[in-house]
Amino acid sequence: MSVLKNITNHIRLLFRKDKEPYLQLKKILGYLPVDIEIYQTAMSHKSLNSKTGNHINNERLEFLGDAVLGSVVADILYERYPDKQEGFLTTLRSKLVRRDMLNRLAEKIGLSELVNYNGKINSAHNSYVNGNAFEAFIGAIYIDRGYKQAQRFIKHKIYDKHVDIAQVEKTEENWKSKIIEWCQKYQLDIQFELISEKVLNDNNTLKFTSRVLIEGVYCGSGEGYSKKESHQEAARQACLHIKRDKVFRRQLISMKAGTSKE
């Protein structure tokens, strides 16, 4: 957007009666939004539907924003770690876009104060509201201003300013504990199975492959240089599969009769 158009938008804003939503978003974005309705949709949780009868919510934008965020973070890491291999980059990216990280980022930039939802939603679901809205917000930026602006926002306004990537790199993520806790919550049976154990050509190094089964259903597999590593990678893949595929997640939960709904 040209400087002249930016100035024009600021002048127009002076004569608007509904200035407050624009100013709130400008504080976060650093510029005035063009299509404010797309940001309002990004801040609308689906729990509002039952209250208002309006079927517009932020789930589609969340889907879009998740893809844009993952792409930009991948680009950041690719440039920052030129000597690291795919496994390292994938693991670090998952740490940088995990739900608790996005929840904290939404709070840091003031986005959590703008999220609209029905206060009656259960606490387990409520814990994801801000992180989901953050992804939807990224999707809104992409639609409103395009990929380059979304990229600049994610890099400079978010990760450069609020995230110590080097520190995140050092933190260990216990994916096995996460998936076990999730299964316990819904009373689902979980098993870790060793699929293979092979000797690599160089210096007789062992490599293990394991898989995760929930209620007998395959959910993910992983490799590692110990059984523990292969279990962790398999658990990580299972967590990502369950997070990204909502239909699959619901199917798993529904397999155990009498469990609480998601």
Catalytic site positions:
66, 135
CB 104 within 8 A of CB 163: no
- Reading across the β-sheet that carries 206-214, which strands appear in turn? 190-199, 206-214, 217-224
The label of the residue with tokens 């407050």 reads 20
Distances, alpha carbon 118 to alpha carbons 3, 36, 42, 214, 239, in Å? 40, 21, 15, 32, 27
| Calculated CA dihedral for residues 107, 111, 115, 120, nearest 10 degrees | 0
CB 198 within 8 A of CB 207: yes
Alpha-carbon distance of 125 to 108, in angstroms, equals 20
Residue 162's CB is within 10 A of a number of other CB atoms, namely 12
